[in-house]
Homo-oligomer: A and B are copies of this chain.
Amino acid sequence: MESALIFLDPNTDLSLQAHIRQKMVEAIVSGVFPVGKRLPSSRKLAEQLSVARNTIVLVYEQLIDEGYVVSRERSGIFVNAKFLEGRVGFDGNLVSERRESANWSRVVRRQAVHKKQFETPPNWQRFPYPFLDGVFDQSLYPAKEWREASRQALTIGQIKQWASETGGADDPMLIEEIRTKILPRRGIQASSDEIMITVGVQQALYLLSNMLVDSTTSVAVEDPGFPGFRHVIEHSGGRVIPIDVDDEGMQVTPAARRADIVMTTPSHQIPMAVTMSMPRRHELLASAQLNDQVVVEVDFELESNYLGKPHPSLKGLSAEDRVIYVSGLSKLLAPGLRLGFIVAPKEVIKPLRRLSSLMVKHPPLNNQRTAAFFLSLGYYDSFINQLHREFERRWIALRRAVNYYLLPFVDVAPAQGGTALWLRVSDDVDVGYLAQAAAARGILIEPIGDYFADQQAGQNYFRLGVTSIPEERIREGVDQLRDLIESVSEERVESLADAQGVRLSGEEIISRLAGKTMLCPIAYGDPCAIDIQSDGQLNGKAGYANEDCDSGEWWIEGSYWCRRWTRWAWGEAGRYHVVLLDNVFKLFDEQGRLIDQGILVNSDTLATTSEDDRLQATNWTKTQALSGSNA
C-alpha cells in the first residue's frame, strides 16, 4: 500500500505550491523522509496529492535550490545528507522547530513520584563490571527453552486460542500452572479464581495501591525498603509509615500495629536480603489479626535463600484470609516479558480484575500462554535450579572479593543469600559521585539512598548485585573498585609506607606468628580465626558457628609471610608484609595495600577464652580496621 506521506490542508492561506513545499520541508526536517531514501517521483506525488505534476516539479526544483534535497542522475531525488548534518543533534533524530503549544506544565494534574537516584543505563551490558541487581546478563537467559515454549504457543491451534480470548480473562493454562507448580512451593493453596496475572510485579503493586489506598490509609513499609512501595502508595494519596528492619526482618513496632496495611518482603527483604524469621512471621500475622490489618506480601525472588531452608510464605502460614501474595515470573524468566501474579481472596481478585481491565485490559495473552508452556514443559524447575546455583556461586565470589579487597573500606550488611551485598562506606564518601566515577571506569554500582524513607539515612550505602555480572569478572571488578574507593575517600587507610608498628623480618615473623591464632574480622561481619601452626599448616574457621572452614599452608620468602588456602582467597598463594603493633597484626600485599588486620593470641589461650571474648576481640579489630586508627 503506497500511502501519501504528506497531507495538504485545504484551508491554508498559502499557494498550493508554497503549501506543498512547506509540508515537504516539515517532513524532511522531522525525518519522515530519512536520509538515503528516495523521495516519491513528481508523477507519483502529484497523483497522491491530486495536484498537477508541474506543481510538484516546481516544488522539487525549489527544494533542490534550497539544499533540502539533491537530485541524482538516473536514481531520483534524495534528502540532502549534508543539509541535515549541519542541523542534527544526534542519531538522525530530528525535531521540527517548536510550534506554539499548550501550556503542558499547567495541564498536568498528577505526576508519578520521581526521585530515583540511580537509573540503570540502557547500555549496561557494555560495561565490563556491572554489579547490578535484578537485571540479567545474557548468559542466564533460557533462550532455547523459551523458544521451544514460544514455538508451542505459536502453533495455529494455540494462536487461535489465545488470540481470540477476550473479556479480561487470564490464560487458564497459566493460572493452573501457577496454582499447581509455583504456589505449593510457597505453601500456598489457592483456587483458580483466587489468582490473577498482572503486567509484572509493578502492576500488581499499582493495582493494590489504587484499590486499597486513599488519603485515609496508612501503610507500614520496610525501611530501608523497595522504593516502588512508597511510590505507588504516595501516588494513591496514602500515608507511608517506615518501619525498621532488623536481622529477623520487618519489625512489628507499635507504629506498624497501627497501620491499615502492612507491605512486606519476608522471603527476602529488599534491599537487605534478610529472611524473616518464623517467630517474626507469627508475630506479624498475630498483629494483623488483632488489629484487623491487610498484609501485602511481596515475593520478588522466589526462594533464593542459599544459606538456610526456605520458610513458608505468610500467605501459606496464615490461618486467615487477610494476606495478599504478590510475586512474578518475569524477573526469573526475563525482565522483558512482564508477568506477575496476585493471590488473594475472591472478593479482592474480582474488583482487581475490573481495575486491571480499566488500566490495561489484560497482560498479553501470547506471553501468558508461552509462560504456561515454559512451566508445563518442566523448564521452570530446571531453570530455577540453574539460576540458583549460578547466583549462589556469584554471590559467594562477591563476598570473597569484598572481604579480601574492601575490608578496610566498607561495612557489609548481614545477608543469608539473595543476589546482592549491601555496603556502607565512610561518611566522607559521596556515593552518588562514587557511582559516577565507577561508571567512568566501567564499574556499575547502585546507590540505594532511595531505599530509605529518609534519603539522608542511606546516603553512604551502595549495593553490589550479581545477577548481571559473570562470576569470572567479579573479583577483578571489586579489585578495581577498591582503588577507586581508596582514591575517593579522604579517610586514610594505612599503607605499608605509613603503617604504625614494627615491620617484621622473615625470622621475626616465624618467631612471633608460629603457634598463634589470628582473630580477624570479615567484611560481612562474621568472626574468623586462623591457626598458624608451627608445622606450616593453616586452619581457618569463619562464621558464628564455624560454618566456613578451610585449611592451607604458610611459609616465609625473604621478608614476606606467604600463605595459600585450599579455597579461600581463590586458592592462590599470597605474599604479605607483616607489621605488628603490640598484639595487632596487619598484612600488606606486595603493592603495600592493607589486606588484613586483627589481633594475635596464643592458640592455647584461645581454647580457654569464652566465645564472647572472641567475638569482642573480632569486633574490636573490625572497628579498628574501619576507622584506620592505631591500637
Residues of A bordering B, CB below 8 Å: 1, 3-7, 9-11, 26-27, 30-32, 34, 93-96, 98-105, 107-114, 119-122, 124-125, 135-138, 141, 143, 146-147, 150, 154, 156, 159-160, 162-167, 169, 179-180, 183-185, 187, 189-194, 199-200, 202-203, 206, 210-214, 216-217, 228, 231-232, 235-236, 260, 278, 282, 292-294, 312, 316-317, 319-322, 334-338, 345, 347-348, 351, 354-355, 357-367, 381-382, 384-385
Task: Give every chain B residue within 8 A of A156 (Cβ-Cβ).
Answer: 143
Task: Give every chain B residue within 8 A of A6 (Cβ-Cβ).
Answer: 184, 187
Task: Give every chain B residue within 8 A of A27 (Cβ-Cβ).
Answer: 184, 189
Partner of A364 from the list B110, B228, B367 (CB cut-off 8 Å) is: B367
Task: Give every chain B residue within 8 A of A179 (Cβ-Cβ).
Answer: 31-32
Bound-state Cα–Cα, A143 to B164, Å: 12
Cβ A111 vs Cβ B211 within 8 A: yes
Kindly provide the distance from the CB of A446 to the nearest chain B CB, expressed in whole angstroms.
12
Cβ B122 vs Cβ A358 within 8 A: no
Bound-state Cα–Cα, A26 to B318, Å: 13
Closest to A102 in B: B322
Kindly provide the distance from the CB of A311 to the nearest chain B CB, expressed in whole angstroms.
8
Partner of A351 from the list B111, B125, B143, B354 (CB cut-off 8 Å) is: B111
Cβ B212 vs Cβ A336 within 8 A: no
Kindly provide the distance from the CB of A1 to the nearest chain B CB, expressed in whole angstroms.
5
Bound-state Cα–Cα, A320 to B9, Å: 14
Bound-state Cα–Cα, A96 to B165, Å: 29
Closest to A9 in B: B317
Closest to A153 in B: B150
Cβ A358 vs Cβ B121 within 8 A: no
Cβ B358 vs Cβ A113 within 8 A: yes
Bound-state Cα–Cα, A103 to B291, Å: 12
Q: Which of A6, A119, A189, A338 has the most CB of B within 10 A?
A: A189
Task: Give every chain B residue within 8 A of A384 (Cβ-Cβ).
Answer: 1
Bound-state Cα–Cα, A231 to B361, Å: 13
Bound-state Cα–Cα, A193 to B209, Å: 30
Task: Give every chain B residue within 8 A of A210 (Cβ-Cβ).
Answer: 110
Closest to A231 in B: B358
Task: Give every chain B residue within 8 A of A136 (Cβ-Cβ).
Answer: 163-164
Q: Which of A190, A211, A351, A361 has the most CB of B within 10 A?
A: A361
Task: Give every chain B residue within 8 A of A321 (Cβ-Cβ).
Answer: 98-102
Cβ A122 vs Cβ B320 within 8 A: no
Task: Give every chain B residue within 8 A of A194 (Cβ-Cβ).
Answer: 95
Cβ B32 vs Cβ A169 within 8 A: no
Known interface pairs A102-B320, A164-B137; A10-B180 also in contact (CB < 8 Å): no
Closest to A184 in B: B5
Cβ B120 vs Cβ A166 within 8 A: yes
Cβ A154 vs Cβ B146 within 8 A: yes
Bound-state Cα–Cα, A199 to B492, Å: 53
Q: A3-B184, A136-B163 are in contact. List 6 more A-B contacts (CB 8 A).
A: A1-B381, A30-B191, A93-B192, A96-B191, A107-B294, A122-B166
Cβ A359 vs Cβ B292 within 8 A: no
Closest to A468 in B: B164
Task: Give every chain B residue within 8 A of A183 (Cβ-Cβ).
Answer: 32
Known interface pairs A108-B351, A358-B206, A384-B1; A320-B101 also in contact (CB < 8 Å): yes
Cβ A189 vs Cβ B96 within 8 A: yes
Bound-state Cα–Cα, A335 to B366, Å: 10
Kindly provide the distance from the CB of A414 to the nearest chain B CB, expressed in whole angstroms.
23
Task: Give every chain B residue within 8 A of A345 (Cβ-Cβ).
Answer: 101-102, 104
Task: Give every chain B residue within 8 A of A348 (Cβ-Cβ).
Answer: 104, 108
Cβ A26 vs Cβ B189 within 8 A: yes
Task: Give every chain B residue within 8 A of A146 (Cβ-Cβ).
Answer: 154, 159
Bound-state Cα–Cα, A317 to B361, Å: 31
The 5 closest A-B pairs by CB, nearest first: A101-B321, A336-B365, A7-B187, A7-B312, A102-B322
Task: Give every chain B residue within 8 A of A316 (Cβ-Cβ).
Answer: 7
Cβ B112 vs Cβ A355 within 8 A: yes
Task: Give every chain B residue within 8 A of A319 (Cβ-Cβ).
Answer: 99-100
Cβ A164 vs Cβ B335 within 8 A: yes
Task: Give every chain B residue within 8 A of A362 (Cβ-Cβ).
Answer: 338
Bound-state Cα–Cα, A54 to B578, Å: 59
Cβ A191 vs Cβ B31 within 8 A: yes
Cβ A167 vs Cβ B121 within 8 A: yes
Kindly provide the distance from the CB of A43 to the nearest chain B CB, expressed in whole angstroms.
19
Kindly provide the distance from the CB of A136 to the nearest chain B CB, expressed in whole angstroms.
6
Closest to A144 in B: B156
Bound-state Cα–Cα, A1 to B292, Å: 37
Task: Give every chain B residue within 8 A of A143 (Cβ-Cβ).
Answer: 154, 156, 159-160, 163
Kindly provide the distance from the CB of A17 to the nearest chain B CB, expressed in whole angstroms.
19
Task: Give every chain B residue within 8 A of A99 (Cβ-Cβ).
Answer: 319-321
Closest to A103 in B: B292
Task: Give every chain B residue within 8 A of A354 (Cβ-Cβ).
Answer: 111-112, 114
Partner of A202 from the list B9, B31, B361 (CB cut-off 8 Å) is: B361
Cβ B112 vs Cβ A351 within 8 A: yes
Kindly provide the distance from the CB of A117 to the nearest chain B CB, expressed in whole angstroms.
14
Cβ B93 vs Cβ A193 within 8 A: yes
Closest to A228 in B: B358
Cβ A163 vs Cβ B103 within 8 A: no
Bound-state Cα–Cα, A9 to B314, Å: 11
Cβ B360 vs Cβ A135 within 8 A: no
Q: Which of A169, A193, A338, A359 has the most CB of B within 10 A?
A: A359
Bound-state Cα–Cα, A348 to B199, Å: 23
Closest to A106 in B: B292
Cβ A166 vs Cβ B124 within 8 A: yes
